[in-house]
């Protein structure tokens, strides 16, 4: 799951990127509003973490531009501007949540998970397909109650598929929306990860179907 972190404080940005990466997110760093707008022209993100006091294009202007283009990507503002009027103004402009600096990283992750669930219309952190389950809080997959051991890239692919179960997910969406520009995955590598996942999921009833020319679909095969 790929995030865009827009924060001009490089030390804070590096710290946040490290912690979020350890939690399984792919994080693209933008250090100015201009950087962020450039990334948004070519990349797809599940959510944006946005500081307001940026050099050049301010965070509030970036938010206005996003919403004026009908881009509904979830936006979590992280800012030292913490008055009630600041919070209300930016929520009214289209932000989905607001956290004042300094903040607790665990609360940030909890709010981010909640925001991502709401954006997908999911109230529960548990997602299932057959006997395959995913807990978006612990970020663990399991099958028949047993933890499923997957690599970080396998995890990213399977998470995207289970969040969109019974729906076709294109190869380009998987590569563009899951991995950063510095951590790109080739179509051939993607196929290899899918083959590995199929082996690990055997017996769960869930299966990854290849739709030639379209992409992949995670669906459930009823056991007889």
pLDDT score of 187 = 79
Q: Which helix (H) or strand (E) holds 35?
A: helix 33-42
Predicted pLDDT of residue 224: 46
The residues with which 134 forms a beta bridge, in sequence order, are 127, 141
Mean pLDDT, each 10-residue run in order, the chain (224 residues): 94 95 90 93 91 92 92 93 90 93 92 87 80 89 91 90 91 78 77 94 92 92 59
> Any bridge partners for residue 129, and if so which?
132
Beta bridge partners of 49: 5, 76
Is the full-model pTM beyond 0.85? no
What is the DSSP secondary-structure string of 53-72?
A: S-SSS-HHHHHHHHHHTT--
Query: Which pLDDT belongs to residue 8?
Result: 95
pLDDT for position 222: 61
Q: Domains, the chain, ranges and CATH?
A: 2-119 (3.40.50.2300), 126-220 (1.10.10.10)
Residue 132: HSE in the Cβ half-sphere, 13 Å Cα cutoff: 27
- Give me the pLDDT at residue 180, please: 75
């Amino acid at each position: 799951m790929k995030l865009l972190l827009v924060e001009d404080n490089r030390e804070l940005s590096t710290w946040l990127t490290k912690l979020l990466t350890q939690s399984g997110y792919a994080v693209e760093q933008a250090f100015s509003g201009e950087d962020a707008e450039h990334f948004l022209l070519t990349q797809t993100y599940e959510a944006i973490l946005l500081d307001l006091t940026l050099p050049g294009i301010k965070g509030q202007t970036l938010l206005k531009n996003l919403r004026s283009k009908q881009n509904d990507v979830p936006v979590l503002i992280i800012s030292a501007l913490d008055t009630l009027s600041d919070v209300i103004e930016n929520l009214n402009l289209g932000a989905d949540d607001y956290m004042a600096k300094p903040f607790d990283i665990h609360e940030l992750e909890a709010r981010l998970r909640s925001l991502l669930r709401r954006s997908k219309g999911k109230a529960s952190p548990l997602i299932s397909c057959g006997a395959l389950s995913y807990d978006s809080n612990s970020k663990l997959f399991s099958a028949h109650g047993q933890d499923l051991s997957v690599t970080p890239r396998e995890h990213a692919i399977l998470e995207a598929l289970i969040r969109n179960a019974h729906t076709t997910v294109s190869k380009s969406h998987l590569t563009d929306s899951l991995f950063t520009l510095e951590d790109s995955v080739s179509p051939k590598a993607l196929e290899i990860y899918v083959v590995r996942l199929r082996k690990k999921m055997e017996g769960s009833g869930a299966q990854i179907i290849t739709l030639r020319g379209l992409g992949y679909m995670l669906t459930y095969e009823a056991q007889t």
